Structure 1
């Protein structure tokens, strides 16, 4: 782009972690563009994706393919590049590097070799989606859920003990099945689904786990989505009072498992959550 002013500055030798747009190519800092232009080599996930950005800003720098499938074997080659006193940038296909993207192995090896690492902050789907959600002030970022159900159940158990909002990445094709699972294991929480953030077809869908499936029936489920779940504290406090009253009234009349199932269905909480509440009441 002709109107972008590139600053004439001397850069320190090292690895620059450069944040790039998550969709809209205009969402990049002047500093990031300067770093990329002055780099000797840019490490990237997919050369085709990165080339679109670099061509848009007329940046002609050698690209080195660095992704999850060649991460380990590429480290030695990259360390050799640093021995030649080069300026190297690392970018992901979109957003801030190392956020659910390759790079951790490289970072660890670079630190062992006393090579300086400089972060160039910028776009991130995590912070963009969280700011749109408007839930609690704190959040827990998990990344992509495990592929196996058994492992996901352990993660849901972990989520159920958190008092903060929860952010995950998800292949859009899995959205419906994962929402059903989360409703079963986490109860009816508020949810924000951010699809194609900053792009032409950006779609932000809000609701709760109980009704969100109706809202996404017409949505084309391609690519990846960012999900923000509200914390336990965002549930209706009056509802908790009602549950406690019913536990008090029914715990001596019903078996714990039957009572948990009944209350979970009635109040749209997870069975595990209700079961734990009942056990706490029985100890009193």
Structure 2
């Protein structure tokens, strides 16, 4: 498993892939942070007022990156789906299985490496958003005193963990889609089609479904309970169960399926 973990970092750290992924999440963080601070005095998408006082609270520092948590999740889903499905389509998986015939360990090592990579890109997005927030705060009348307090640091750490957990939930969806469909384009297309229009449509038509739909739960986790009135602890428990089931299904299919490419 350790060898598979190390090997998976080789394609992940290729300059084109790494810089492209980091560029995407940094752009998301910049967009979310700028729009959040320039929304002061206006209303957000849900019609709630955005105020300087709200952003000045200890948890206000991460509101910019939390606003685009769904985009971070989409990047995580796409990266994992493209990486795992790419091994099938490029014909490299059979060679990997010849060197490491224990399928469960091979996939576990890959998933751990991809999970660490997702945490890395979320950390990059968070760092960019935090730095930009401190720069924009004085221009919008937002006080940064609470951000640097003990409570602010706790909120920063908790918020970062929530963003990572939410993005890893998206990554689990991408992993399952990649193992089932075995093609990067198909895996990303199907996973995103389910995660975005399908779930959003269901949630808007029948709002109680938000408490049980996987992606809606991941959004609740990523925002620390701000996305829906559902208790955060319930969302976390259900989200972890969903992600665990998806990973187990991926492992089961991966172990039993014939490798024809």
Using the size of structure 2 for normalisation, the TM-score is: 0.24
More strand by share: 1
Bigger Rg, which one: 1
More helix by share: 2
Higher relative contact order (CA 8 A, sep 6+): 2
